[in-house]
Amino acid sequence: MTFTHRHLLGIEHLRAEEIVTILDLAEEYVTLNRAAEKHGEALAGLTQINMFFENSTRTQASFELAGKRLGADVMNMAMQASSITKGETLIDTAMTLNAMHPDLLVVRHPHSGAVDLLAQKVNCAVLNAGDGRHEHPTQALLDALTIRRAKGRLHRLNVAICGDIAHSRVARSNIILLGKMENRIRLIGPPTLMPAGIAEFGCEVYDDMEQGLQDVDVVMMLRLQRERMDGGFIPSEREYYHRYGLDAEKLAHAKPDAIVMHPGPMNRGVEIDGTLADDINRSVIQDQVEMGVAVRMASMDLLARNQRALRGAA
Ligand code: ASP
C-alpha cells in the first residue's frame, strides 16, 4: 500500500501516488455511500474525536458521518463550551483528550501550524480539518476526486482558482495537489488578495477574469475570508462581484464543458452568481460535498491501517 503516514496534516507531505491511493479507495466508499446499507467496519472499535476551534458545517458533518459509517465511536467536542474559554491552552486540551485514548483526532484551528504542533504531542492519528490559511488537505482531496470523476483524469488540465487566494487554505492545498499531479494552474483575483511570494507557487497570475478563464477546464471559486482580513482588501462587495464574481458571461470564456466548483460556504452574489451555482449542468458543488464524505472515510481508513501496523510492530 502506498500510504505510510501516521497523520494527515497537509498535501505538502504527500507524494502523487499516495494521493492516487486515497482517491482510489475513496471511489469504493462513493459506491458504499450510494448503497442502501452504508456500513463498513474499517474503524470498528476505534474512537474518533472531532475538535473544531473554528466554525464548520460541511467538514464537521462530513467527518462525523464518515467515522460513523465506518463503525467508529465519534465524539464532537464543543470547543466554545470547553475549558479553552477558561484559558486552557490548545496543548493542555489535547493532552487531556489524549489521556482518553482516542485513535483519530480531527482538528480545525484558526492558527496556521496549530494542528502540526498538536500532532507532535499526542499518540493517535491527527487529521487536519483546516488550520488558518495554511492547509485543508481533505478539501483538496475531495476536489481532486470531483475533478477526476468529472473530467476523467487529474493531469494536464487547466485549472483556474479565483478570488481570495491570500487567505485561503483551500487554495493553498489545491495548488500543491494539482501541481503534484502536473496540471496548469492559474490564479485569478485582485492583487490585494494574492499572497506574498506568489511567484514561488509556479502558477500563472491574472487580475482579469475574462483573460484568466480563457479555455480553462475547471473554475474553482473561493469565498472572501472576511474573518481573516484585517483591513480593506476590496473596494465593495458590489464592485468585487462585478469584476471577480463568476456568472454565465464570464464563464463563457472557459471551455464549453468547464466545471464550476466552490468549497462552501458560498456568498451568493459576491463571488458567484446563485443561479450558476445551482446549475447542475455546470456546477459540481453538490458532488464536492458527496466526495467529501468518501475522501474522509478513505483517509481515516488508511490512517487506521497504519496505526494497526505500527501497533503490531511494537
Ligand atoms: N470551508 C472552507 C474552509 O474551511 C472554505 C471556506 O471557509 O471558505 O477553509
What is the number of the ligand 1 atom nearest to the C-alpha of 139? 2
Ligand 1 atom showing the smallest separation from residue 222 Cα: 8
Listed in sequence order, the residues at least 6 apart from 236 whose beta carbon sits closer than 8 Å to its beta carbon are none
Show Cβ contacts of residue 28 under 8 Å, excluding neighbours closer than 6 positions.
298
Instruction: Tell me the C-alpha distance between 219 and 161, whole Å.
Output: 6
Cβ of 7 less than 6 Å from ligand 1: no
Find the 12 Cα to ligand 1 centroid distance in Å.
18
CA of 163 from ligand 1 middle (Å) equals 13
Average pLDDT, the chain: 94
Q: Pick the closest to residue 253 from 160, 164, 179, 144 (CA basis).
A: 160
Residues 266, 146, 7, CA angle at the centre, nearest 5°? 90
Concatenated DSSP letters for 232-273?
A: --SS-HHHHHHHH-B-HHHHTTS-TT-EEE--S---BTTTB-
- Give the model confidence (pLDDT) of 77-103 as tens digits: 877 766 666 667 888 888 888 999 999
- Using the 8-state DSSP alphabet, how is residue 29 labeled? H
Which of 53-57, 65-69, 95-99, 197-201 is predicted least confidently?
A: 197-201
Q: What is the pLDDT of residues 22-48, one digit of tens each?
A: 999 999 999 999 999 999 999 999 999
DSSP states of 264-277 as a string? S---BTTTB-HHHH
Cα–ligand 1 centroid distance for 7 (angstroms): 21
Residues 241, 253: Cα–Cα separation, whole Å: 17
Distance (Å, whole) CA 200 – CA 89: 34
Q: pLDDT tens, 155-206? A: 999 999 999 999 999 999 999 999 999 999 999 999 999 998 887 888 999 9
Distances (CA, A) of 202 to 68, 187, 219, 221: 40, 10, 18, 19
The answer to whether the CB of 130 is under 6 A from ligand 1 is yes
